Structure 1
Amino acid sequence: MIGKWRWAAARSIGTSHLKNGTPCQDYVCAKEFLTRHGSVMAAVVSDGAGSASHAEFGSRTVCIGLLKSCRAFLFDAALAELNEDVVWDWIDATRETINVKASFAKVRPRDFAATLVAVLVGEEASIVIHVGDGAAVIRRSGCDEWEVPYWPYQGEYASTTSFVTDDPHRGSW
């Protein structure tokens, strides 16, 4: 499967950001990992919270942190071995990186608030990782219909969601 992956990404600054003079707070990255168990394509998207003063750094940290965790995992294990506990460890590690950056910048971790949607696709398994109000769509082999494996999370109040910087109890998202 080497060299068969193609990906495209786009991000655009919103009108409210233009009006307020704030930067685009979204980030996206993808990487193909060539492992001894086969090729794995990882794509990660993060939407920084508009209310967070350092959201553009939060979304970039979320994307890059998840890819680093994925690379370290795939060095020793197959994608099919990935489980929820390992993914929670990845999210916890990313949150800790944000906590360190926030401490250094003398701001709250919430100032780096960002969501997470990641898709890891290998020859034998596919995984969707999701925190917040984003969504991923998939199309199964031999099927024409697109599916949403996990719907966006809407918080208790209108226009609220969860962020990687939140410290929830596992299983609450």
Structure 2
Amino acid sequence: MTWKHIAATVTGISHLNRNEGGQDYCRVQVVQFGDREYFIGLVADGAGSTADGGVGAQIACDTILGCITVSIRDTGELSGISHEDVEHWVSAARDAIARQAEMSSKPLREYACTLLGAVIADNHARYFQIGDGGIVIHEEAGYTAVFWPDQGEYANTTYFITDEAFLSHLSQQSSASPPDEIALFTDGLQNLVLSFSRKVPHDGFFKPLFETLRKSCGGENPILTEQLRTFLTSREINERSDDDKTLILATH
């Protein structure tokens, strides 16, 4: 199994107009242990109401990436990773954010961020999410959302890894049938790529992007990455969402 993947994070015009930096962050890595290859995709979105949500997002992704690689190396099989293992990854990320907050003498909530992740091998896949944004996969039946964005009890709210009850909002799913395509994205794109009335992804958004990616060379493609960044900052997209936007696309 050889993965092709691209990823881009762009700052929303709402942040740019206020001379602020973006709050999204992502990590993509393909690792090999023995004769098996693993795709890892992680996305986090810092809360817009915080000063350091983007820092929290980076710490969360970087910490969990390390935890995942250790778990895969130790177990030797993705199917051997348990629900409790994923809770450990997320808890380790929260602890790392808490240490940063303590060193900076800031409240933990200033580093609030959502979290989405996927780990895929040739015989297994595992997904997890806290908060909004989404993970869309393609299987024989077509495109489907693994989880629906968890937007909280009130409008424009969601849940974060820094919440006191963060584990109660951790959604998990595993499958013995890995997808051939996967997309992970933050909430800046969810209203564009998901039909909330029908609870399905918009095929018309994903199909052209994946068709282009499938025709590319293996691994990471800098040219397509730049084209994706240009697309995410286009007038067409910005007119529909002024928030930060992150999108990971991967196929094998």
Do residues 40 (structure 1) and 38 (structure 2) align? yes
Q: Rg larger in 1 or in 2?
A: 2
Whether the 8 Å contact between 2:7 and 2:28 is mirrored in structure 1 is no
SS at match of 1:46: strand
The structure 2 residue matched to 1:18, chosen from 16, 36, 43, is: 16
What RMSD, in angstroms, separates the aligned Cα atoms of the two structures? 1.4
Do residues 157 (structure 1) and 181 (structure 2) align? no
Of Structure 1 and Structure 2, which has the larger fraction of its residues in strand? 2
Distance in 1 (alpha carbons) for counterparts of 2:169 and 2:22: 29
Q: Identity across aligned pairs (percent)?
A: 29
Q: Which runs of 5+ in 2 are unaligned?
A: 171-252
Paired residues for 1:78-117 under 5 Å: 78-117=77-116
Q: Which has the higher contact order (CA 8 A, sep 6+)?
A: 2
| Pair 169,131 (structure 1): closer, same or farther in 2 beyond 3 Å | closer
Name whichever of 31-40 and 69-78 sits farther off: 31-40
Distance in 1 (alpha carbons) for counterparts of 2:113 and 2:48: 9
Aligned residue type for 1:162: Y
Distance in 1 (alpha carbons) for counterparts of 2:163 and 2:35: 34
Distance in 2 (alpha carbons) for counterparts of 1:170 and 1:105: 25
The structure 1 residue matched to 2:144, chosen from 144, 147, 152, is: 147
Paired residues for 1:131-142 under 5 Å: 131-140=130-139
TM-score (norm 2): 0.64
SS at match of 2:92: helix
Do residues 62 (structure 1) and 60 (structure 2) align? yes
TM-score (norm 1): 0.92
Aligned residue type for 2:49: S
Give a deviation string over 1:82-110, Cα, whole Å, max 9, x none: 22111111111100000000011110111
Of Structure 1 and Structure 2, which has the larger fraction of its residues in helix? 2
Whether the 8 Å contact between 2:44 and 2:116 is mirrored in structure 1 is yes
Aligned residue type for 2:116: V
Distance in 2 (alpha carbons) for counterparts of 1:170 and 1:25: 22
Q: Which runs of 5+ in 1 are unaligned?
A: none
Structure 1 segments, 4+ long, off by >2 Å, are 169-173
Distance in 2 (alpha carbons) for counterparts of 1:107 and 1:37: 45
The number of residues matched between the two structures is: 169
SS at match of 1:10: strand
Whether the 8 Å contact between 2:160 and 2:166 is mirrored in structure 1 is no
